[in-house]
Amino acid sequence: MALLTQSYVHGASATPLIGETIGTLLRRVAAEGPGRTAQITRHQNVRWSYAELLRRSEDLAVGLQGLGLKKGDRVGIWAANCSEWVLAQFGTALAGFILVNINPAYRVHEFEYAVRKAGCRALILSPGHKTNDYFASLRAVAPEIDTAAPARLKAARLPKLEIVVRLGADKTAGMLSFDEVARPASEAERAALADFGATLQFDDPINIQFTSGTTGAPKGATLTHHNIVNNGYFIGEAMRLTAEDKLCIPVPYYHCFGMVLGNLACVTHGAAMVSPSEGFDPIAALEAVQEEGCTGLHGVPTMFIAMLDHPEFPRFDLLTLRTGIMAGSPCPVEVMRRVVEKMHMREVTIAYGMTETSPVSFQSAHDDPIERRVSTVGRIQPHLEVKIVDQEGRIVPPGVPGELLTRGYSVMRGYWDDPSGTASAIDPARFMHTGDLATLDAEGYCNIVGRLKDMVIRGGENIYPREIEEFLYTHPAIADVQAFGLPDHKYGEELCVWIRRREGADLNEQEVAAFCRASIAHYKVPRYVRFVDEFPMTVTGKAQKFLMRKAMMEELALAEEKTA
């Protein structure tokens, strides 16, 4: 292959893009293998074939249409992983509604923001998850629910919301039950739904996913059928998925990782989706792999760490595992090696992307050399383009860090009801500005260096937190680590690390500093070291460095350094 002379790659491919809506895709796959296993939800004792998944999704679509919902109406889903979530994903697509994914960890303020911003006309929700009472949050924002007739809500703070559907068969004031809405449809209703589905276009918006919003209010990335069907397909291709595979999906459905890398990667290949539990539980995931004979397993690095480090890990037989994806946050090299060696995931892949790009732009291949799979995020996905640019927007040479920009079928339509935010993220050439710092080597392999906003500049020297994290992972006493910058009067910024020790390990600040000084440049040695039992995390398993930074600034009484 020709070596790169500049940091630009494109995924030339003889495999055409799929020109189908999600509904057309599901109908085709169900017709090709109606008896194949589609969905296993272990905590609900659900086992559906593709024919049954289609039938139940049609039931929900017809039921929602019967309530007066029209193409383009927004339907919120607020629930942890469950079979009804999957029905909502496919049922809304069959009817041309736009599914609005609401983070299961959201509280009252965030919930209200998401429903108002997307203009949800309907909401499907569970009673709650863990200690989060969803009904209480809804009543706090829309107390009118308690006296409203079902499907006739008029709430001052949620003016667009009319229909609330609660999961299950139970009755709650002002709400319909999921089971009554998703009652069995007649053959005539199914035929009418199929005819209507044929009028939908694959470029129609179908999904709104709210970004994490660590700086300001969350933005609603608006994705189309075309965006996520094709991304799911090419992700599955990189994993070599077939109809014989069973993929364990312990990552959240509300996130692209669950619904695209998980569900749509499976459906585009006729594979089985296996849900081990409502929220991530290491034992439930390991049990699902062993008892269902799963061939694939998804997770963010912290999930794999939790499984590998669990005291009961040695008792599980994981020999059926072959593939899977580790993504969602930077993947430590040492964790990747342990996954390959101890979990038998010899074809595990690394994927990189962002919600706004459906999400995957880079993915390693099953036959990439192991050193490539443990040290990069692979090469460009088919039909996509990426360039790495400097602060002036000029493409940099291979090996030089810069911002990663993505263009192609995967780029979102835009942020919902936010033209200025869209314009600041997608430039006139339709490149999505990711905000991620990356390098491309001469062979096109990508390495994510960090976030533009995460880069630490100490006395004029650039420090990439991920580099420090990768180095510290090589210490035998360190189970997990997060590095970030803190303001400093003399140097502008200093490096801080939070470390979680391995169980039973003994390690102190001086030993960490000595370990660093022996192997890395002096300016990269952390000024501050803290040992913690856990990190503040998002529900998807991403460490929230901004909260760690805030905690340290309060502890050390630091103030932001003013810049000219």
Please report the pLDDT score of residue 216 as a whole number. 56
Q: Which two tokens stand for residue 137?
A: 């949050």
Q: What is the mean pLDDT of residues 510-527?
A: 92
Please report the pLDDT score of residue 336 as a whole number. 86
> Could you give the percent of the chain with pLDDT greater than 90?
82
Q: Which amino acid is at 395?
A: I
User: Environment class of residue 312 by beta-carbon count within 10 Å: exposed (0-12), middle (13-18) or buried (19+)?
Assistant: exposed
Separation between Cα atoms, residue 535 and residue 527, nearest integer Å: 19
Pairing relationship of beta strands 220-224 and 120-125 according to DSSP bridges = unpaired
Separation between Cα atoms, residue 362 and residue 382, nearest integer Å: 9
Range in 43-52, 222-231, 362-371 with the lowest mean pLDDT: 362-371
Separation between Cα atoms, residue 336 and residue 312, nearest integer Å: 20
Please report the pLDDT score of residue 330 as a whole number. 66
Whether the CB-CB separation of 432 and 442 falls below 8 Å is answered with no
> Could you give the percent of the chain with pLDDT greater than 70?
98
User: Environment class of residue 519 by beta-carbon count within 10 Å: exposed (0-12), middle (13-18) or buried (19+)?
Assistant: exposed
Unique residue bearing structure tokens 């602060």: 391
User: Environment class of residue 204 by beta-carbon count within 10 Å: exposed (0-12), middle (13-18) or buried (19+)?
Assistant: middle
More confident residue, 178 or 520: 178
Cβ neighbours of 453 (radius 10 Å): 12
pTM: 0.87
More confident residue, 82 or 470: 82
Please report the pLDDT score of residue 463 as a whole number. 85
Whether the CB-CB separation of 214 and 544 falls below 8 Å is answered with yes
Separation between Cα atoms, residue 45 and residue 354, nearest integer Å: 33
Whether the CB-CB separation of 519 and 471 falls below 8 Å is answered with yes
User: pLDDT tens-digit profile of 107-142?
Assistant: 898 899 999 999 999 999 999 999 999 999 999 999
User: pLDDT tens-digit profile of 241-265?
Assistant: 999 999 999 999 999 999 999 999 9
- CA 452, 454, 457, 463 torsion-angle sign: negative
For residue 205, pLDDT beyond 90: yes
Range in 79-83, 324-328, 527-531 with the lowest mean pLDDT: 324-328
Q: What is the mean pLDDT of residues 350-354?
A: 92
For residue 1, pLDDT beyond 90: no
Please report the pLDDT score of residue 215 as a whole number. 43
Cβ neighbours of 389 (radius 10 Å): 17
User: Going by C-beta distance under 8 Å and a sequence separation of 6 or more, which residues neighbour residue 402?
Assistant: 7, 388, 389, 390, 396, 437, 438, 439
Please report the pLDDT score of residue 561 as a whole number. 55
Please report the pLDDT score of residue 263 as a whole number. 98
For residue 212, pLDDT beyond 70: no
DSSP element (H, E) containing 378: none
Query: How would residue 564 be classed by pLDDT, with cut points 50, 70 and 90?
Result: very low
For residue 451, pLDDT beyond 80: no
Please report the pLDDT score of residue 449 as a whole number. 83
User: What single string gives the DSSP state of each residue in 404-431?
Assistant: EEEEETTS-SEETT-HHHHHHHB-TT--
Separation between Cα atoms, residue 64 and residue 165, nearest integer Å: 10
Whether the CB-CB separation of 313 and 286 falls below 8 Å is answered with yes
Separation between Cα atoms, residue 352 and residue 300, nearest integer Å: 11
Q: What is the mean pLDDT of residues 424-450?
A: 94
For residue 563, pLDDT beyond 50: no
User: pLDDT tens-digit profile of 141-173?
Assistant: 999 999 999 999 999 999 999 999 999 889 999
User: pLDDT tens-digit profile of 299-336?
Assistant: 988 899 899 999 999 999 999 999 999 987 667 778 88
- CA 63, 67, 70, 75 torsion-angle sign: negative
Query: Which phi and psi (to 5°) does residue 195 adopt?
Result: -65, -45
- CA within 13 Å, CB half, 182: 25
Whether the CB-CB separation of 449 and 481 falls below 8 Å is answered with no
Report angle CA 277, 282, 284 to the nearest 5 degrees: 40
* Domains of the chain, CATH where assigned: 8-17+228-451 (3.40.50.12780), 22-36+49-210 (3.40.50.12780), 456-556 (3.30.300.30)
Separation between Cα atoms, residue 465 and residue 472, nearest integer Å: 11
